[in-house]
C-alpha cells in the first residue's frame, strides 16, 4: 500500500484516499519536502529519512537502521510510522501510524511540466536529526582504483599470452573508471 503527502493543502493520502484535515501544510516550488519512516520489528527499529520533491521542489533522502530494540514481534506494526517535513519542520505529528512492516520505495509523482531533485544524502539542505540515517549511509565507499585493479588482475587468466599494449590499455581503463566512481561518491 502507498503513503503520500500532497502539495495542495498538505493532504495525506493512503490507499488512494485523501485526508485534508490532519495537520498537513501546503507546499510548492522551492520548498524542500522530506520524510522519515520508522519500522519497528523484533530487535530493530529502522529509521529512514527521505526528501522526495514535487513541483520543482529542492531535494530528497532516505535511510537505514539505528539498532533500537523495542521487544515487539516481527509482524507487529505498532509503533511503525511515517512523518513528513516541509523545509526542515515536521508537519503534524505522525502522518501515518501503525504502518505494516515491509519494504518501502520512495517515489515522486509530478503533474504537467514539474521537475524535482532527489537527494538521498549525505549532504542535505535540512539535515535529519542524529537518530536517523540517510540511504547514502547504506552504500559502502567504492574501493581505491589500485585495489580494484589488484582484484581484477588477481582473477584474470594469466596463462594466456596477451599483447602488452592491450594489458596496459585495460589497466588504464579499469583505473580510470574506478577513479570516476570513487570521485563521484566522495564529491556527492
Output the pLDDT for position 54.
31
Phi, psi for 77 (deg, rounded to 5): -85, -10
Output the pLDDT for position 14.
93
Output the pLDDT for position 32.
92
Q: d(Cα 21, Cα 42) in Å, to the nearest integer?
A: 33
Output the pLDDT for position 63.
34
Pairing between strand 3-5 and 12-14? antiparallel
Output the pLDDT for position 13.
93
* Rounded average pLDDT per 10-residue block, the chain, 188 residues: 89 92 90 87 50 33 32 47 91 89 85 85 84 78 89 75 86 91 82
**Residue (of 143, 142, 150) closest to 171 by Cα position:** 150
Sequence length of the chain is 188
State how far the alpha carbon of 63 is from the alpha carbons of 35, 66, 106, 128, 172, in Å: 10, 10, 11, 10, 35
Q: d(Cα 26, Cα 11) in Å, to the nearest integer?
A: 8
C-alpha cell at 167: 594489458
Alpha-helix runs per DSSP H in 67-142: none
Amino acid at each position: 500500500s502507498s503513503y503520500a503527502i500532497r502539495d495542495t493543502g498538505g493532504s495525506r493520502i493512503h490507499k488512494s484516499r485523501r485526508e485534508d484535515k490532519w495537520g498537513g501544510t501546503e507546499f510548492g516550488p522551492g520548498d524542500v519536502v522530506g520524510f522519515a519512516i520508522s519500522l519497528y520489528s523484533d530487535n530493530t527499529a529502522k529509521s529512514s529519512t527521505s526528501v522526495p520533491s514535487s513541483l520543482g521542489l529542492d531535494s530528497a533522502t532516505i535511510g537505514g537502521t539505528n539498532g533500537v530494540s523495542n521487544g515487539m514481534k516481527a509482524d507487529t506494526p505498532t509503533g511503525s510510522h511515517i512523518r513528513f517535513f516541509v523545509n526542515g519542520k515536521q508537519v503534524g505529528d505522525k502522518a501515518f501510524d501503525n504502518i505494516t512492516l515491509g519494504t518501502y520505495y520512495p517515489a515522486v509523482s509530478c503533474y504537467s511540466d514539474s521537475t524535482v531533485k532527489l537527494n538521498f544524502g549525505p549532504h542535505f539542505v535540512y539535515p535529519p536529526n542524529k537518530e536517523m540515517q540517510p540511504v547514502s549511509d547504506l552504500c559502502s565507499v567504492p574501493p581505491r582504483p589500485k585495489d580494484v585493479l589488484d582484484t581484477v588482475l588477481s582473477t584474470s587468466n594469466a596463462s594466456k599470452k596477451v599483447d602488452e599494449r592491450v594489458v596496459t590499455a585495460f589497466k588504464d581503463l579499469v583505473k580510470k573508471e574506478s577513479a570516476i566512481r570513487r570521485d563521484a561518491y566522495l564529491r556527492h
